[in-house]
Amino acid sequence: MVDSLLLQFMLIGILGVGSQWVAWRFRLPAIVVMSIVGLLAGPVLGIMNPEEDFGDLYKPIISLAVAVILFEGSLNLDFKEVRGLGRPVFRIVTIGAFLSWILGALAAHYVAGLSWAVAFVIGGLFIVTGPTVILPLLRQAKLKPRPAKILKWEGIIVDPIGALLAVFAFEIIEFILGTDVNPSALFTFFLASVFAVLLGLVCGKGVGWMFETGYVPEFLKSPVVFTVVIACFTIADEVTHETGLLSVTAMGMTLANMHISSIADMRHFKENISLLLISTIFVMLTASLTQETLVEIFNIQTIGFVLLMLFIVRPLSIFISTWGTDLSKSEKLLVGWIAPRGIVALTVASYFSSILLDSGFEDASILISITFALVFTTVVAHGFSIGWLSKKLGLSMEGPPGVLISGGSPFSTGIAKVLEELKVPVLIADSSWERLSKARSTGIKSYHGEILSEQTEYYLDMTPYEYLIAATELDSYNALVCTTFVPEFGRNNLFQLSLSNREGDNLEGLVHTIGGRVLFKEGASWEDLNDMVENGYVFRKTNITEQYTYKKYLENIDEHALLLFIKKPTGKIEFYSSEVESRAENGDVVVSLTPPSKEFERIQEKLEEQRKDPKKK
């Protein structure tokens, strides 16, 4: 057991972030890796037990982390995004949540053997599919926009509702079974919920107004937001337990729909904080479980309850609630299956376990075991199945990593055509119909619109594309595009053309701090590349084999040819860049822009071979 709290914090951080890296490296569900790592560090090997070691600080740390995660998730709930999905989403978070509560309570009573009181509390709790688990799964699965948005909206909105339902069920139980019947307690609970929502709205509007009017300097904006989030959560939670989650959700949605530029700028920073919190908190929760809790999970009643929740309760509530909507059968099947539970379920279950035990409900002692059984089972089952099932149902965007090109031109069209021939998804985006005309006439997929516009994210699905090439004639615009999309694509997957030699542009100092990696080689500017295409240069694909090695290829290639990219057998694209040395291997395809003289010589050689051996025709 690690005695030092400082060492424990270090170990939790390493295990959490390390789990995320392992999941990314080996394409595994991150939540599953974190759960296993936490179990190994806690009940299995006994290295640490954060709940015991942190003492009174444990629950506040978890609660504040959940509040920040939920707020960050709700910042993505822009009502523009839900266009055309309003009816299904509304039904799922209302009718679907209610059905899930009732059916879950029935399953908990008749299968898990819990009393009606505890069953209704746990039934309300288990409707949650929060952002701590659903958002990492969506990043992993690359779903099509419709099902992805439905699952995201449900997860973030239902998260506080589930906690409130559990509180509401407990208040009802106390009201019915209490010796001092007090109807005002229920009324107070509803007032507290309304107060929480209003507090979130006021905090959101207040922060937004301060940012828009310049009352907060840029360097203080992130600290102010986090401070207000914690204050909003704490005030509401002190009034009535668990209403704080409702308050921060309302605050996040308010800010998201005010469309303040500074909030959008900070969103990616908060996403990083949220990812760090998810990693560490999940490890803390699983490491705090006891061996007794793990043993109780394998109880036949617990197993039966979990299976019923997975295969009956969730699908039934989704199919009934979405009856008559425009959701396809495939979308209903996917949404009806994917419902992983996470941090909120574990934390709230821990709270109610002690409260119900103090109130005399002895069967509440197995509440944590049942909760963890459902959390771990759903995380594993849905984490490993979402990719496979979405592909089977035709709802996945999974495929070779695609290329998004900003800027229409003869060169853009040429390289896009080659990528398309190599079965690589490609799209050219430009705000000018004229610059897109060549791509459209060639049949290349295109998007007419400003790629930096706020509307682009609603009309252009960027899920299939892992690489972005900024290939306009304006160097400063290319740098701006690359800098804007760093959070979405990552700096290593962003490329821009080499700087032009036009007089008046002095961006040499700028390009080293912002923008993407320089494509191909220094000097291969927009003008040069398009001149090459206009002068008859040809895009040439060459297979590297054991007989024709990369070394021989480099020896034979024309000195004026330009190496563009390497296509790996896995589908990965490796663009040539002056910043990274690329090397092709056996099985790769190398694409180059070759002078017409070299291409003419190659054609002449083929004709000569055919004259000598007519069978080669």
pLDDT in tens, 194-210: 898 899 999 999 998 99
- DSSP state, 20? H
Looking at residue 142, its pLDDT comes to 75
Identify whether the C-beta of residue 322 lies closer than 8 Å to the C-beta of residue 100. no
Mention every residue, 6+ apart, whose C-beta is less than 8 A from residue 438.
Answer: 408, 409, 410, 413
Lowest-pLDDT choice from 271-285, 484-498, 601-615 = 601-615
User: Is pLDDT at 272 greater than 50 in this prediction?
Assistant: yes
Looking at residue 110, its pLDDT comes to 93
How many other CB atoms are there within 10 angstroms of residue 11's CB atom? 18
Lowest-pLDDT choice from 177-186, 323-332, 544-553 = 177-186
Q: Annotate 530-551 with three-state secondary structure.
A: HHHHHCCCEEEEEECCCCCCHH
Structure tokens given for 215: 């009352």
Looking at residue 417, its pLDDT comes to 92
User: Alpha carbon 198 to chain centroid distance?
Assistant: 29
Separation CA 143–CA 354 (nearest Å): 39
Ordered structural domains, the chain, with CATH? 63-392 (1.20.1530.20), 402-616 (3.40.50.720)
Structure tokens given for 266: 């900070």
The mean of the pLDDT values for the chain is 81
Separation CA 302–CA 356 (nearest Å): 19
Lowest-pLDDT choice from 57-66, 130-139, 148-157, 188-197 = 130-139
Mind giving me the DSSP string for 201-244?
Answer: HHHHHHHHHHHHTT-S-GGGHHHHHHHHHHHHHHHHHHHSTTHH
610 pLDDT tier (thresholds 50, 70, 90): low
Looking at residue 504, its pLDDT comes to 47
Each residue's pLDDT tens digit, 217-234:
888 888 888 899 999 999
Looking at residue 569, its pLDDT comes to 86
Separation CA 359–CA 368 (nearest Å): 17
Mention every residue, 6+ apart, whose C-beta is less than 8 A from residue 112.
Answer: 119, 301, 302, 304, 305, 366, 370
Closest listed residue to residue 322, CA positions, set 150, 543, 455: 150
Each residue's pLDDT tens digit, 470-514:
988 888 888 888 888 876 777 788 888 877 655 445 555 554 556
Looking at residue 570, its pLDDT comes to 82
CA dihedral 310, 312, 314, 319 (to 10 degrees): 140
Looking at residue 107, its pLDDT comes to 93
Q: Annotate 400-453 with three-state secondary structure.
A: CCEEEEECCCHHHHHHHHHHHHCCCCEEEEECCHHHHHHHHHHCCCEEECCCCC
> Which is higher by pLDDT, 609 or 162?
162
Sign of CA dihedral 330, 72, 130, 161: negative
Separation CA 135–CA 147 (nearest Å): 13
Separation CA 412–CA 510 (nearest Å): 24
Separation CA 617–CA 607 (nearest Å): 9
Identify whether the C-beta of residue 338 lies closer than 8 Å to the C-beta of residue 151. yes
Task: Kindly give the pairing relationship between strand 562-567 and strand 573-575.
Answer: antiparallel
Separation CA 104–CA 124 (nearest Å): 8
Each residue's pLDDT tens digit, 325-340:
888 899 999 999 988 8
Separation CA 163–CA 352 (nearest Å): 10
Closest listed residue to residue 371, CA positions, set 316, 284, 294, 300: 294
User: Is pLDDT at 271 greater than 80 in this prediction?
Assistant: no
Each residue's pLDDT tens digit, 68-101:
877 877 776 677 766 666 688 888 888 998 999 9
Count of all residues that appear for the chain in the document: 617
Structure tokens given for 250: 């309302």
For the chain, what is the radius of gyration of the CA atoms? 28
Separation CA 594–CA 562 (nearest Å): 7
Closest listed residue to residue 288, CA positions, set 68, 60, 67, 35: 35
Percent of the chain residues past pLDDT 70, beyond the cut: 84
Lowest-pLDDT choice from 89-98, 232-241, 366-375, 519-528 = 519-528
User: Is pLDDT at 284 greater than 70 in this prediction?
Assistant: yes
CA atoms within 13 A on the CB side of 6: 0
Each residue's pLDDT tens digit, 115-135:
888 888 888 888 877 666 776
User: Alpha carbon 569 to chain centroid distance?
Assistant: 27
106 pLDDT tier (thresholds 50, 70, 90): very high
- pTM score of the predicted model: 0.67
Separation CA 9–CA 23 (nearest Å): 21
Host H or E run for residue 287: helix 261-287
Looking at residue 43, its pLDDT comes to 87
Identify whether the C-beta of residue 113 lies closer than 8 Å to the C-beta of residue 366. no
Give the mean pLDDT of 527-550. 86
